[in-house]
A and B are shown apart, each in its own frame.
Chain A
Amino acid sequence: NAGVTQTPKFRILKIGQSMTLQCTQDMNHNYMYWYRQDPGMGLKLIYYSVGAGITDKGEVPNGYNVSRSTTEDFPLRLELAAPSQTSVYFCASTYGGLSEAFFGQGTRLTVV
């Protein structure tokens, strides 16, 4: 049972480039989330999904897009990368509103 798996673990992007952060979970969780964590700060919600085909914006969605075509996968797309998107990105999943959240190991992204 792998839990929540994120790829890649590290990435350096140049300004203006695009990339997709991958996230997959094998726990049949309906809720999935993308957070970013900046140094010394708490996590901030970028986007979330309550099921396949349903996504919604979180607190800091600008510059990002998501899709949820299956229960397992929830990729995060960065278009036109900017230095302000340098951060550590975490994907998480839960089974509804009553369960604990499971997190991936994170993707450390640097935009130069």
Chain B
Amino acid sequence: KQEVTQIPAALSVPEGENLVLNCSFTDSAIYNLQWFRQDPGKGLTSLLLIQSSQREQTSGRLNASLDKSSGRSTLYIAASQPGDSATYLCAAAPHNNNDMRFGAGTRLTVKP
């Protein structure tokens, strides 16, 4: 059974800092890994999707990496802004997205 863990559970940084969020998974036989953003009381928004054959994906100030052999993914946020404050979740899909397994998320606060 796939277990997905995100550490730390919460992170507070000053504006402008670069930061890394961590995601680990126990079963390396994943189909893809997604990073999501969730604002309070809202649904999830997909930020980046990394296929199992890829090592990283980039979108603007965000860069996600995937290392299947070690069961780890990281989300790098450059030059953080207060608007980046949200909960970030990662999800590992075993195959065909039938059963994405989510981590509990990292709650990020970026202080002005």
Contacts and interface: CB of A to CB of B under 8 A. Distances in A.
A100 B91 CA distance: 11
A31 B42 contact: no
A103 B44 contact: yes
B42 A42 contact: no
A106 B95 contact: no
B86 to A, nearest CB: 14
A45 B104 CA distance: 14
A25 interface: no
A105 B31 contact: no
B91 to A, nearest CB: 8
A94 B44 CA distance: 13
Contacts of B49: 99-100
B97 A42 contact: no
Interface in B72-112: 89, 91, 93, 95-105
Q: Which of B42, B46, B49, B98 has the most CB of A within 10 A?
A: B98
Interface in A50-106: 50, 56, 58-59, 90, 92, 94, 96-106
B96 A97 contact: yes
Contacts of B45: 103
Nearest to B89: A42
Given A42-B101, A45-B100, A97 B44 contact: no
A101 B34 contact: yes
Contacts of B32: 97-98
A4 B42 CA distance: 13
A49 to B, nearest CB: 10
Interface of A: 4, 31, 33, 35, 40-45, 48, 50, 56, 58-59, 90, 92, 94, 96-106
22 contacts: A33-B100, A42-B102, A42-B105, A44-B102, A56-B98, A58-B99, A59-B99, A92-B44, A94-B97, A96-B96, A97-B93, A99-B49, A101-B44, A101-B46, A101-B91, A101-B97, A101-B100, A103-B36, A103-B43, A103-B45, A106-B41, A106-B42
